[in-house]
Chain A
Amino acid sequence: MNNVCNQTCTGCGKEFSKGLWRQNPIFVQVLGMCPTLAVTTKALFGFSMGMATAFVLICSSLAVSVIRKLVPQQVRIATFTVIIATFVTCADYFLQANFYTISKELGPYVPLIVVNCIILGRQEAFASKNGVFRSLLDAIGMSVGFTAVLILLGSIRELLGFGTIFNFKILGAGFEHWVIMALPAGAFITLGFLIGLFNWMNKKSKSN
């Protein structure tokens, strides 16, 4: 984390792209594991969760970077938390009002975005120290990185656990569903393999 805080921004493109790979919130920072593991039983839920988190992260980062110079050090965490909680509640109401079935499937995990460490982490490490534009790029990058991994994780688990991806039938009736992929253990197994693959790819590209 520390090297992220002290990094002096050379190119603004970097602020965006670091969330995709180099500082990916799930693979590298390993933050926000609760929604990552819990809601990725299906690709659609991963996508919805990613969108809700992206909304909260981007709005919070904007708000925090705007008021960063006004907030006294002692109460910055309290202030950030109030801001984050407000956006999370708005996102939750919005989903319940417009995407009722999805909101029911995601259950308590939407309100739980409040305690997602990616969001508070980005406010502490980035938005409270950087300008509005850079904070926006940082938040979008992190959101895209987070959502992409949730969709990937959800697709793999849905494919093996239900034989579908985004509710489209991929594997025929002959395929015996791996029930474990729909259970929490399946989330840990898949995430473990994905992080392993990620590290292997990184190592390979470094040695080249």
Chain B
Amino acid sequence: MRNTVRIISVLTVVGLISGTALVLMYNYANPRIIKNQKNEMEKAVYKLFPNAKKYDKVAMGDDVVFKVTDKSGKSLGYAFIAEGNGYQGPIKMMAGIKPDLATLEGIEILESQETPGLGQEIASDNFRAQFDGLKTSPEITYVKNAKPGSPNEIQAITGATISSKAVCTILNEQIKTIKQKLSK
């Protein structure tokens, strides 16, 4: 009986202390984590639109669109988030689109868990630069082991076709949705 009381009290005290410590830690860390995530978005927007001065977040149903404007208040275009499945996990990226909704400004990879050294190369400058200035229709396609021939084509990363394809698919999907929502 005495042992039972001791077991219960030890576990209770340890639990209470640990709970308190976690609450304190959470209160310290959470605002910083939110700030980090916001910074990351912000950095991506400004990287896509180097001349951007400010952006407004517009919620459109499930999607969030950033309206980007330059110093004089002229619209530079829109940035939006596209998310979908890659080879090993979700890929989350931000894409920029010019005000006429016809030309892609570029893409930035925000999160991905692709194979290091292969699929992870979707975040490399060489791969991403291929998307700069592509048209938003027809759909973006990819070729393997060859220089892209037709317009709106990119070259898939050698050994990481699935990751390259995933980027195209996710992007095409989201472009369609965003165009629909924005042209309303």
Could you list which residues of chain A lie within 8 angstroms of chain B, going by C-beta atoms?
Answer: 41, 67, 70-72, 74-75, 78-79, 82-83, 85-86, 89-90, 93-94, 96-98, 100, 104, 107, 161-162, 177, 179, 181-183
- Interface presence of B115 (CB below 8 A): yes
Nearest chain-A residue to B159 (Cβ)? A179
Nearest chain-B residue to A179 (Cβ)? B117
Known A-B contacts A83-B14, A104-B111, A162-B117; the reply to A90 vs B21 at CB < 8 A is yes
Known A-B contacts A75-B7, A90-B25; the reply to A100 vs B115 at CB < 8 A is no
What's the minimum C-beta distance from B135 to chain A, rounded to whole angstroms? 32
* 5 A-B residue pairs with CB within 8 Å: A67-B14, A75-B7, A86-B21, A96-B33, A182-B118
Query: Once the chains bind, are A97 and B18 in contact (CB under 8 Å)?
Result: no
Query: Once the chains bind, are A97 and B28 in contact (CB under 8 Å)?
Result: yes
Query: Once the chains bind, are A75 and B10 in contact (CB under 8 Å)?
Result: yes
Complex CA–CA separation, A179 to B159 (angstroms): 10
- Interface presence of B71 (CB below 8 A): no
Q: Give every chain A residue within 8 A of B11 (Cβ-Cβ).
A: 75, 78-79, 82
Complex CA–CA separation, A182 to B11 (angstroms): 43
Q: Give every chain A residue within 8 A of B15 (Cβ-Cβ).
A: 82
Q: Give every chain B residue within 8 A of A78 (Cβ-Cβ).
A: 11
The 9 closest A-B pairs by CB, nearest first: A182-B117, A93-B29, A97-B32, A86-B18, A97-B29, A100-B36, A182-B116, A41-B116, A90-B25
Contact of A72 among B6, B21, B33 (CB under 8 A): B6
Query: Once the chains bind, are B117 and A177 in contact (CB under 8 Å)?
Result: yes
Known A-B contacts A100-B36, A162-B117, A182-B116; the reply to A79 vs B3 at CB < 8 A is no
Task: Tell me if B's interface is mostly helix, strand, loop or mixed.
Answer: helix
Complex CA–CA separation, A85 to B22 (angstroms): 10
Number of A-B contacts (CB under 8 A): 73
Query: Once the chains bind, are B10 and A179 in contact (CB under 8 Å)?
Result: no
What's the minimum C-beta distance from B86 to chain A, rounded to whole angstroms? 14
Complex CA–CA separation, A86 to B3 (angstroms): 25
Could you list which residues of chain B lie within 8 angstroms of chain A, going by C-beta atoms?
Answer: 3, 6-7, 10-11, 14-15, 18, 21-22, 25-26, 28-30, 32-33, 36-37, 40, 111, 113, 115-118, 159
Q: Give every chain B residue within 8 A of A82 (Cβ-Cβ).
A: 11, 14-15, 18
Known A-B contacts A79-B10, A89-B22; the reply to A179 vs B36 at CB < 8 A is no
Complex CA–CA separation, A23 to B7 (angstroms): 33
Query: Once the chains bind, are B25 and A72 in contact (CB under 8 Å)?
Result: no
Complex CA–CA separation, A82 to B117 (angstroms): 37
Complex CA–CA separation, A160 to B64 (angstroms): 41
Q: Give every chain A residue within 8 A of B3 (Cβ-Cβ).
A: 72, 74
Q: Give every chain A residue within 8 A of B28 (Cβ-Cβ).
A: 93, 97
Max chain A Cβ within 10 angstroms of own Cβ: one of B14, B26, B115? B14
Q: Give every chain A residue within 8 A of B33 (Cβ-Cβ).
A: 93, 96-97, 100
Known A-B contacts A97-B33, A161-B117; the reply to A70 vs B10 at CB < 8 A is yes
Q: Give every chain A residue within 8 A of B117 (Cβ-Cβ).
A: 41, 161-162, 177, 179, 181-183
What's the minimum C-beta distance from B159 to chain A, rounded to whole angstroms? 7
Complex CA–CA separation, A181 to B6 (angstroms): 52
Contact of A107 among B36, B113, B118 (CB under 8 A): B113
Query: Once the chains bind, are A93 and B18 in contact (CB under 8 Å)?
Result: no
Query: Once the chains bind, are B36 and A96 in contact (CB under 8 Å)?
Result: yes
Max chain B Cβ within 10 angstroms of own Cβ: one of A70, A97, A100, A182? A97
